[in-house]
Amino acid sequence: MSKTVTVLGSTGSIGTQALEVIEMQGYEVKALTASVRVDEIEKQIRKFKPDYAALVDEKAAQELKIRVADTDTKVLSGLQGVCKCASLGADYVLNSIVGMAGLEPTLSAIDAGSEIALANKETLVAGGQLVMKRAKEKGINILPVDSEHSAIFQSMQGCRDKNEIKKLILTASGGPFFGKKRDELANVTVKEALNHPNWSMGAKITIDSATMMNKGLELIEAVWLFSMDPKDIEIVVHRQSVVHSLVEYCDNSVIAQLGVPDMRIPIQYALTYPNRIPSPVSELSLTDYGTLTFDKPDYETFGLINICRKAINDGGLYPACANAANEEANLAFRQGRINFLQIEELVAQAVADAPKVEDYKLDDVLEMYDRARGYVKEKIKG
Ligand code: NAD
Ligand code: MG
């Protein structure tokens, strides 16, 4: 029987690549959701004929309803509509929403018993404890779509005893500013920061790659996905993005997953696990690359990695705070309201001023999100 898949964030970089994989494999689309882009989602509705679609923006959803009135797709709106789409009980819910907005839909999908193919890393950074606990209770898998985490997951297949794993090695491309020092970064433009060397991605994650916040978020994501101690996760800069990440075992044998940088491999593996099937992705030619390089991260210049490391070590809602402050600062940089180095400064200040919270529920995570974004907004206003 064909698999059913719901794609949250279907108009984005991951969402559209997920739909390519889905089309190629002949899976059935149960629901599609996006933020505001009526034209794109209308085309997707006509092609994939989902039962439901949702746009977060109410006005855009009204417009979409009129446009697709001739189809059988029911159109919903708002966060509630997105959560409804997530809770239809599809075999898989692929979450490629950007930002913390993905948290509640992830929880809805878990409650409905769907397997989760998770690209939306902010969900785990902000509410990792809630998500993993609920997934465990429901007996469902959180299957990583993020390329590094997929690589780790793939490198763990065949491992029968988790105690045999000594550490994880996350690779980082280093982004467009690799090799630059702090004083060279003060005046970089948004255009320069958006010019990623290896990957074509949404704007927010591309800026996160330039600041290396992305690797900090991925460190926290790995802690939750693989129940690892942060001290056992190492970060290595690998400019070519061919070795997607590695697992070191207790005998010092290291297993890695390699491939050309193309997100359709991790997307597909999340949907076909534990099986592998042919994909349209090009073969890796190691001799075309010739040289693969590995460097230590420059923590002086890219301080956000260690801010995230401290946040997950300190626990509670510090990671949620770092994530939310970064969402606001990343946006402010893209809108030309702050300079590049201020992103790090603002996240550092928000985390330093955040209260210690030991145990948290969903409402506390949401409250921290608003608090940290508000904090950064106020600081920017001066
Ligand atoms: P994107 O900006 O291209 O797409 C984001 C999608 O989310 C769009 O469909 C948009 O309509 C939707 N969206 C935006 N705001 C929303 C909101 N408030 N509520 C509901 N939906 C909303 O982003 P992307 O690059 O596809 O990244 C998506 C997620 O995947 C991010 O968490 C990112 O970190 C992660 N990721 C992306 C890549 C990549 O190659 N692009 C790789 C690894 C991980
Ligand atoms: Mg990644």
Q: Which of 36, 55, 205 to mutate to test the pocket of ligand 1 (most atoms within 8 A of CB)?
A: 205
Nearest CA to ligand 1 atom 19: 101
* 103-111 helix and 121-138 helix, angle to the nearest 10 degrees: 20
Q: Separation of 49 CA from ligand 2 center, angstroms?
A: 30
* Helix (H) or strand (E) run with residue 348 in it: helix 340-352
Which ligand 1 atom is nearest residue 37's CA? Answer: 11
Ligand 1 pocket by Cβ (under 6 Å):
9-15, 34-35, 37, 56, 82, 96-98, 101, 119-122, 146, 199, 201-202, 204-205, 263
Please report, as a single letter, which amino acid is at residue 103.
L
Q: Separation of 161 CA from ligand 1 center, angstroms?
A: 34
Q: How many CB atoms lie within 10 A of CB 134?
A: 17
Q: Which of 96, 200, 244, 268 to mutate to test the pocket of ligand 1 (most atoms within 8 A of CB)?
A: 96
Ligand nearest to the CA of 208: 1
175: left (phi over 0), alpha (psi -120 to 50) or beta: left
Q: Separation of 199 CA from ligand 1 center, angstroms?
A: 14
pLDDT in tens, 15-36: 999 999 999 999 999 999 999 9
**Burial of 333 (C-beta count, 10 Å sphere; 0-12/13-18/19+):** buried
Q: Separation of 15 CA from ligand 1 center, angstroms?
A: 7
Cα angle: 243, vertex 206, 131; to 5 degrees? 80
Give the full edge-to-edge strand order of the sheet including 115-118: 74-77, 52-55, 28-34, 4-8, 92-95, 115-118, 142-144
Rounded CA-CA distance 242/273 in Å is 21
CB 323, CB 122: distance < 8 Å: yes
Measure Cα distances from 353 to 279, 319, 322 in Å.
47, 13, 11
Q: Are strands 52-55 and 142-144 parallel, antiparallel or unpaired?
A: unpaired
Chain position carrying tokens 């990583």: 144
CB 210, CB 176: distance < 8 Å: yes
Reading the chain (382 residues) residue by residue, the pLDDT tens digits are 689 999 999 999 999 999 999 999 999 999 999 999 999 999 999 999 999 999 999 999 999 999 999 999 999 999 999 999 999 999 999 999 999 999 999 999 999 999 999 999 999 999 999 999 999 999 999 999 999 999 999 999 999 999 999 999 999 999 999 999 999 999 999 999 999 888 899 999 999 999 999 999 999 999 999 999 999 999 999 999 999 999 999 999 999 999 999 999 999 999 999 999 999 999 999 999 999 999 999 999 999 999 999 999 999 999 999 999 999 999 999 999 999 999 999 999 999 999 999 889 999 999 999 999 999 999 999 8
Rounded CA-CA distance 78/104 in Å is 12
